[in-house]
Amino acid sequence: MKRCFREKVVHVLAGLVVLNLFACAGVTELDVSLVDDGIKKDPIEFVAPEFRPSLSAQRKMVDAMGPRGFDNEMLANIRQTGGSGRPVLLDEPKVTEHLVTGINGAPDVPVFIVGEKADSPRPAILYIHGGGYILGDATTDLQRLQSISQKHDAVIVSVEYRLAPETPFPGPVEDSYAALKWMADNADQLGIDTSRIAVMGESAGGGLAAMLTLMARDRTEVDRAEVDIVQQILIYPMLDDRTGSTKVMPYWMGAYSWNDVANRFGWSSLLGVPAGSKQVPAGSVPAREKDLRGLPPTFIAVGAVDLFVNEDIDYAQRLLASGVPTELIVLPGGYHGFQVSNPKTVLANRFHDAVDAALKRTFKVEDI
């Protein structure tokens, strides 16, 4: 049966474009059905009850729209209309802008620095925004990053990497590496303790953080890494191009927010070949990396109905099997980006508490 989807851009938050793409009635091609008395459950029944009212309202908004897939025209429309300008910032800590020299002749990379203070060395985070490798920008999360900086007394650098499909792999991760290297090289000026630099990313930003950590492990100076990463914090990371293409997911995973249609488009844009292809550029898909040894301690958090939940669990298992200290949090009923669209809910609070606890352990600091 022909597949079709209805979609609407709901909002852009935390660098994540939240889309609703709902399968038309009767679509069964990729469904792994769970039935009660022969009737397949509505996907919303797998979502935490506290999220259901807002998701039901969103679904009603899209039911009147006609079928359409994710394509370049839709991407252009989202980029044109999806953003709402820079967020209102807190008075403290201060946010400054800088241009980092690109690697090997690449364009300069804009970065936003939160909490720069050239006094005593403090922990630092390189933050990489989400958006499916094709959307988002480094400014969207700045107010939230200010709060994290203040809470953990940390310097945070948010990187404005180039987006696909205009800049395919390795451009976005090279931009991120340029920012990471700049942080280490300018640690005294920025007030950074180079022994406590973490990388953190959400969704596609989490995928880039994982790629970056692999790249940093493999790039050496005199038999040691150019930059030591103390931990990678991966928030529902986008790690496997095969999800939703050659790997079929249960129908309720990805039913809300980012789904398999968007996932194939995002990965194909980054890779320059169709998602799920037999061959992809080396280093571009963390889930396909054969050797995960020597990576820093890792924290992964994902919702149980997120499209990425299986790939994230699998990556955590492989890290553990490679001797990498790894913490995995799977939040029941959480969909992709739930803590952004529902920030004051019980599950969102559990999520934020887990991330804060991971950062405290990594940086070895008390509450500020």
Active-site residues, by number, are 203, 306, 336
The answer for residues whose C-beta is within 8 angstroms of residue 219's C-beta and 6 or more apart is 177, 225, 226
Asked whether the beta carbons of 225 and 219 are under 8 A apart, the reply is: yes
- Taking Cα atoms as reference points, which of 243, 177, 261 lies closest to residue 211? 177
- As beta bridge partners, residue 201 has 128, 234
Q: Strand 122-128 to strand 192-202: parallel, antiparallel, or no bridges (unpaired)?
A: parallel
SS3 173: helix
> Measured on CA atoms in the order 289, 201, 125, 316, is the torsion positive or negative?
negative
Residue 222 tokens read as 């005199």
Contacts 24+ apart (CB under 8 A), 88-93: 88/143, 89/142, 89/143, 89/146, 90/143, 90/146, 90/147, 90/150, 92/146, 92/150, 93/146, 93/149, 93/150
At 332, which amino acid appears? P
Measure the CA–CA gap between 74 and 93, rounded to whole angstroms. Answer: 37
Measure the CA–CA gap between 9 and 336, rounded to whole angstroms. Answer: 14
The answer for residues whose C-beta is within 8 angstroms of residue 222's C-beta and 6 or more apart is none
Residue 51 tokens read as 């999220």
> Which residue is it, tokens 């699998």?
314
Measure the CA–CA gap between 72 and 76, rounded to whole angstroms. Answer: 6
